[in-house]
Structure formats: C-alpha cells, structure tokens
Amino acid sequence: MLVRLYIYNKHTGEYLYTDIGNPKYVIADLGNDKDFTLTAPPDSSKQWRWIDGAWI
C-alpha cells in the first residue's frame, strides 16, 4: 500500500513537497520540523500554507 502525503513546515505552515511511499517509511522521514496532511494544495500557482486545517 502506498500513501501520498503533502509535507509542510510545522512552524510556518509552508508547503514543502509531496511524498509518496509506504506510510511507515514516509512518516519516518519527516523529522521534527515537518508535518503532513492528506489534503492536496489547491494548485501550484502560489506558495500555500497549512493553517488551522486548511490551505491558505
């Protein structure tokens, strides 16, 4: 099973990258300064931030 995660900076909410892989390994690669959501940013036309459970 593969999962697609949208990775963002925990402190700023800034979207960093998308990671696809085995959930166990993808989550283990995050580090302390990153978090993830399963919700994709709306588009790539701007720099998105994950704030209060939504991309703004």
| Per-residue tens of pLDDT for the chain, all 56 residues | 999 999 999 999 999 999 999 999 999 999 999 999 999 999 988 999 999 999 99
**Alpha carbons 56 and 47: distance in angstroms, whole number:** 9
Global pTM value = 0.91
The predicted pLDDT at position 55 comes to 98
**Is the distance from CB of 30 to CB of 36 less than 8 angstroms?**
yes
The predicted pLDDT at position 45 comes to 87
**Is the distance from CB of 26 to CB of 20 less than 8 angstroms?**
yes
Structure-token pair, residue 16 = 């960093």
The predicted pLDDT at position 30 comes to 94
Give the domain range for residue 11.
Answer: 3-55
Instruction: Give the chain's domain count.
Output: 1
